[in-house]
């Protein structure tokens, strides 16, 4: 069976065709709205919604053409149903429902976070349960993935997400948007020891994250240099910011590994997913950590880490296999926690 996946929850308009047998990914088209948002230094929801509307039809056409199929060969439509910028989610869900209705095929509303969570199983044969570090521009969570639609949250951020920390840091350093890749590039020629920054939450017993203090520390470090940064300053601060974020993520993940193995001694795998999982310093730190804990480590290829339609189509396939289909009355959700039973955390900017 071939599933068309549609992703419109942030600033990528994406569509993909994925099958339930190898080679799973038949096409994976991502139109990045970067150019439209860059003048504002971040994603503008209204601009994103309009851009999705303008680009979604051609992106779907390209995905079908690249897979060498027409609508007649699509067995089901999966679309991100939330969480995300609601204008964009509405565009994707409405389009998906219309196609599903016109073609008489099932419609699956996919939680964007579940798309990231299950992307590991599209990349490699990962068995449930596994421990997931989900790090993106909007989310920063540690979840035990017990099965399709079954999650246990171990930790979340009490303010910013890891990707936000990269993005806001890059803005402070004048490195442009999006920040993650820019920081990673600048960090290559920098020395973190020349510009030490705090490492948030280290050693705490819970598995939560916090990055707003780090952002303030970076701002103060920039101000201390009179606001004028040399190339070398920029590189050192970028290296230090990356080191602090990676150290904090690794420390929180180590804490979560202990809790995961406590609950599931047979657990075998640590998975990282989401846009920040593209970061090489983070990947190698987590790989070491997993090895030390006797766990395997899976990080999907970069194209499956940042937002894409293939992970949504794949999550759709996993849900269909589990007998989960949605009605055309599904209402797009701006918020949609993976583990609704998780105890809310307290913090200045708690999201979900």
Among 2, 239, 257, 278, binds ligand KG4 (CB under 6 A): 278
Residue 81 lies near ligand KG4 (rule: CB under 6 A): no
- Note whether 115 and 80 are within 8 A (CB): yes
Distance of closest approach, residue 113 Cβ to ligand KG4, in angstroms: 9
Question: With contact defined as beta carbons under 8 Å apart, do 119 and 299 qualify?
Answer: no
- State which of positions 13-42 bind ligand KG4 (CB under 6 A): none
CA distances from 314 to 58, 258, 285, 310 (A): 21, 29, 28, 6
Quick one: which of 27, 28, 136, 255 contacts Zn ion (CB under 5 A)? 136
Among 95, 160, 307, 318, binds ligand KG4 (CB under 6 A): 307
The answer to whether 160 contacts ligand KG4 (rule: CB under 6 A) is no
**Residue 95 interacts with ligand KG4 (CB under 6 A)?**
no
With beta carbons less than 8 A apart as the criterion, state whether 166 and 180 touch. Answer: yes
Q: Is 323 left (phi over 0), alpha (psi -120 to 50) or beta?
A: left
Residue choice 5, 267, 274, 309 for contact with ligand KG4 (CB under 6 A): 274
Which of 12, 307, 318, 326: binder of Zn ion (CB under 5 A)?
Answer: 307
* H-assigned helices in 68-161: 86-103, 112-123
Among ligand KG4, Zn ion, none, what binds residue 87 when CB lies within 5 to 8 Å by partner kind?
none
Among 107, 130, 151, 166, binds ligand KG4 (CB under 6 A): 166
Stretch that binds ligand KG4, among 132-140, 198-206, 323-331, 334-342 (CB under 6 A): 132-140
Q: Where are the alpha helices (DSSP H) in 7-78?
A: 34-37, 45-67
306 binds ligand KG4 (CB under 6 A): yes
The rounded distance, in Å, linking the Cα atoms of 183 and 178 is 9
- Count CB neighbours of 185 within 10 A: 13
Which residues lie near ligand KG4 (CB under 6 A)? 10, 136-138, 163, 166-167, 178-181, 184, 274-276, 278-279, 306-307
């Amino acid at each position: 069976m071939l599933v068309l996946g549609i992703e419109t929850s942030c600033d990528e308009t994406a569509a993909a065709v994925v099958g339930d047998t190898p080679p799973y990914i038949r096409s994976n088209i991502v139109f990045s709205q970067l150019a439209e948002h860059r003048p504002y230094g971040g994603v503008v929801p209204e601009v994103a919604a309009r851009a999705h509307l303008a680009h979604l039809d051609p992106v779907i056409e390209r995905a079908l053409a690249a897979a060498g199929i027409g609508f007649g060969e699509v067995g089901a439509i999966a679309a991100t149903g939330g969480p995300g910028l609601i204008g964009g989610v509405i565009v994707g869900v409405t389009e998906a429902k219309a196609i599903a209705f016109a073609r008489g095929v099932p419609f699956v509303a996919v939680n964007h976070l579940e798309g990231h969570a299950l992307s590991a199983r599209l990349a490699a044969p990962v068995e449930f349960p596994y421990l997931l570090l989900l790090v993106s521009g909007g989310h920063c969570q540690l979840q035990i993935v017990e099965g399709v639609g079954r999650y246990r949250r171990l930790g979340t951020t009490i303010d910013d997400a890891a990707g936000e920390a990269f993005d806001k840091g890059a803005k402070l350093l004048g490195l442009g948007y999006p920040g993650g890749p820019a920081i990673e590039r600048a960090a290559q020629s920098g020395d973190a020891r020349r510009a030490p920054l705090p490492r948030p939450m280290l050693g705490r017993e819970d598995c939560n994250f916090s990055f707003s203090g780090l952002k303030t520390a970076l701002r103060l470090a920039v101000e201390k240099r009179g606001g004028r940064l040399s190339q070398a300053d920029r590189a050192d601060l970028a290296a230090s910011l990356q080191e602090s974020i990676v150290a904090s993520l690794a420390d929180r993940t180590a804490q979560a590994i202990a809790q995961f193995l406590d609950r599931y001694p047979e657990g075998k795998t640590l998975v990282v997913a989401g846009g920040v999982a593209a970061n090489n310093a983070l990947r190698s730190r987590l790989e070491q950590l997993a090895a030390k804990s006797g766990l395997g480590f899976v990080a999907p290829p970069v194209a499956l880490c940042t937002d894409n339609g293939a992970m949504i189509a794949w999550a759709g396939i996993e849900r269909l296999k589990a007998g989960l289909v949605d009605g055309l009355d599904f209402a797009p959700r701006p918020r949609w926690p993976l583990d609704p039973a998780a105890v809310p955390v307290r913090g200045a900017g708690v999201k979900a």
